Amino acid sequence: MLKDHLDNGDEETHKHVDKLMPQKIKKRRKIQTEDGSDAGWEEYHDYIFPDKEASQPNLKLLAMAKKWKQQMEDDEES
């Protein structure tokens, strides 16, 4: 069905659909075991949708703030 739609669509429709397609990004994250020791790194794929790109920098800032807060709490416990 999708192939039929792509065959019947014009160039403008194809460009519009291409703009809506998500971008595939490879990321890495640290893996920790239940006891808190490092177990290496994991690679995974994340998809960034064009309509969500505007909110991505804010999410990264929020994640960095949470990490900083956790580090501050860990330092206070020590």
Closest CA to 44 of 30, 26, 56, 59: 26
**DSSP structure string for 55-72:** GHHHHHHHHHHHHHHHHH
Q: Is the pTM of this model over 0.95?
A: no
- Model pLDDT for residues 34-73, shown as the tens digit of each residue: 888 888 999 999 888 887 656 667 777 888 899 999 999 8
The answer to whether 29 touches 41, Cβ cutoff 8 Å, is yes
- Residue 17 tokens read as 């659909």
Confidence of residue 1 (pLDDT cuts 50, 70, 90): very low
Residue extents of the structural domains in the chain: 22-77
